[in-house]
Structure 1
Amino acid sequence: MIGGGQVMEATAKYRPNIEVVSDAEELASRAVHLFVSTAREALESRGTFHVALSGGQTPKLAFERLAASPAAQALHWQHIHVYWVDERYVPADSPQSNYRLAAEALLKKVPIPPDNIHRIPTEHEDICTAARSYETILRNAFGLDEDGVPEFDLIVLGMGADGHTASLLPNCFAPFDTDDLACVVYVMDGRLNRITLTHPVLRAAKRLAVLVSGTEKAETLRKVLTGEPDEVRYPIHILWPVLGKVIWLVDRDAAAAIP
């Protein structure tokens, strides 16, 4: 877990880069522009683009816009690799699957090779085996040794009304104290257990985008942006040491309580 001094030092060094847009539609359009521009930059400089996607209704609208974008269709998808930030432990064809959401909204509509789609393998009988398998997928795709951490060109995140991001949930300590690339998150309130990228992976990304939409998130967003960082209560605060790499795309409803 990050020490408070480290978090406050990082906060002093960086200010959140917040872009407020009018509504969810404009937020999706802005996310498409960010995806395309980041992909072009990575493809031109390194020849590949590695991106990790999240689930939820806000990213879904962005995926749909991306699939319909001529600029996105023109990207060299044979050199684009897609991964997932987190996944519920459900079959790949489940309506609750983050993979299925992205596949139907985006990936089936662009010319990406199947081998470039690196989903979290929830078909394993044991969720811990699935998490270890996803870590192996990441290491192989990035060519990492056992101590390496993947450096994504872009990670697309959301923020829940409780301040969670990825599947790093409030008051859940396990994901903070790990060197693993992916871990299991057990949920005790009847919701589905999950597999998520861990904070070392999120922080290592070259660029992160946090998409926040809706009035139900306004008060939490205010507390997250103005209060003392507390990554246990508000796991989104794990990004504070790397705020210089994070862009917040926030619609007007979600930004309503920001001073």
Structure 2
Amino acid sequence: MQPTIEVLPDKAQLIERSQALIVEKIQNAIAQQGRCTLALAGGSTPKPIYAAIAQQSLPWEQLFIFWGDERYVPSDHPDSNEGMARSVWLDQVPIPAENIFPMPTGAASPSAAAESYEQTLKAFFQVSGSEIPRLDMVLLGLGDDAHTASLFPQTEALQVRDRWVTVGNKSGEPRLTLTVPLINQANSVIFIVSGANKQTALAHVFAAEAEDSAYPARLIQPHGELWWLLDTAAGANLSLLTG
């Protein structure tokens, strides 16, 4: 399926459009199946989007929150993706605590934590055998090195196909991350990208030919919808690449 690419005039309109699309997808999933499962992105770009969603009136008890990746730090650490999402969104709305599934960072090792989160997903989705669960929506960012989630260039995590959660690695720093097969199983994957420093990464991601392991976001080719929401600073040259 071809991606839907939208280039918004500025960051404020990127935030507004992203919030509106996410809320629309939440509402549609709940209308169709009585719940919405959503994996969150970390970083600075989603923060104002989450704050905007917190102002909406939604059936919070039908929303189930997961994470696409997490730094291996406690939830009260300034770098925690969970901590950020809780502070600006989840702690501001009446979502049941049992609907929130953070990645564990207190296990004996990152690999044990990844295994634990995979078991959490298996228990929630109740899939059998080799079946891969289908999240309704996965939110992703893009690094200036074209990494997404904690799938970094030329790392072992990119090759994992038999797990749903694995250990990512950034310069020797462990992260937890959903794997390529799990992300690609989603009904909707939405990249939200801001800033001129992302132009080179986007050029490689959208190039007709490039090495996937060097530009990991190229590996994200979901069975469902793929959205790229960009501000003009990031997407200024994208029309040249995509025609």
User: Which category of TM-score, normalised to the shorter sequence, fits these structures?
Assistant: over 0.9
User: Which residue in the other structure is 1:5 paired with?
Assistant: none
| SS of structure 2 residue aligned to 1:130 | helix
Name the structure 2 match of 1:245.
Answer: 225
SS of the equivalent of 2:182 reads helix
> For residues 49-68 of structure 1, what are the structure 2 equivalents within 5 Å?
49-68=36-55
TM-score scaled by structure 1?
0.88
Pairing 1:106–2:93 present: no
Verify the 8 A CA contact 1:25 1:61 in the aligned structure 2. Answer: no
Tell me the amino acid that sits aligned with residue 86 of structure 1.
D
Match of 1:142 among 105, 113, 125: 125
Which letter does structure 1 place at the counterpart of 2:108? E
CA distance 1:41–1:244, change in 2 (3 Å): closer
Structure 1 residues without counterparts, runs of 5 or longer: 1-13
Q: Secondary structure at the match of 1:56?
A: coil
Quote the Cα distance in structure 2 between the aligned partners of 1:78 and 1:220. 38
* TM-score normalised by length of structure 2: 0.94
Partner of 1:10: none
State the partner residue of 1:162. 145
Which of the numbers 15, 18, 24 marks the counterpart of 1:31?
A: 18
Name the stretch that deviates more: 211-220 or 222-231: 222-231
Q: 1:193 aligns with which of 154, 169, 174?
A: 174
Match for residue 83 of structure 1?
Answer: 66
Classify the secondary structure of the residue corresponding to 1:82.
strand
Residue 125 of structure 1 deviates from its aligned partner by 2.4
Q: Deviations over 1:8-66 (max 9, x none)?
A: xxxxxx44321000111111111111111111111111001000001011111111111
Give me the whole-angstrom Cα distance separating, in 1, the residues matched to 2:192 and 2:157: 25
Q: Distance in 2 between matches of 1:143 and 1:239?
A: 24
Task: Tell me, in whole angstroms, the C-alpha distance in 2 between the residues paired with 1:164 and 1:133.
Answer: 24
Structure 2: how far apart are the matches of 1:229 and 1:45? 38
Counterparts of 1:150 and 1:28, CA distance in 2 = 29
Corresponding letter in the other structure for 1:152: L
Query: Post-superposition shift, 1:146?
Result: 4.6
Question: More deviation in 210-219 or 141-150?
Answer: 141-150
Over the matched positions of the two proteins, sequence identity in percent amounts to 36
Corresponding position of 1:124: 107
Find the partner of 2:27 among 9, 31, 40.
Answer: 40
Which is helix-richer, 1 or 2?
A: 1
Task: Identify the range of structure 1 (167-176 vs 198-207) with the bigger mean alpha-carbon deviation.
Answer: 167-176
Q: What's the counterpart of residue 207 of structure 1? A: 188
Q: Which 5+ residue runs of structure 2 have no aligned equivalent?
A: none
Q: How far apart are the structure 1 equivalents of 2:218 and 2:136?
A: 20
Cα separation, partners in 2 of 1:178 and 1:244, compared to 1, 3 Å:
closer
Runs of 4 or more above 3 Å deviation:
none
Residue type of the alignment partner of 1:197: L
Deviates more, 1:171-180 or 1:199-208: 171-180
1:17–1:247: 8 Å Cα contact kept in structure 2?
Answer: yes
Q: Residue by residue, what CA displacement relative to the aligned partner does 1:216-240 show, whole Å, maximum 9, x if unpaired?
A: 0012212221341432011001123
Q: Report if the CA contact (8 A) 1:16-1:243 is conserved.
A: no
2:141 touches 2:148 (CA, 8 Å); kept in 1? yes
Tell me, in whole angstroms, the C-alpha distance in 2 between the residues paired with 1:31 and 1:138: 26
Measure the CA separation in 1 of the matches of 2:113 and 2:224: 32
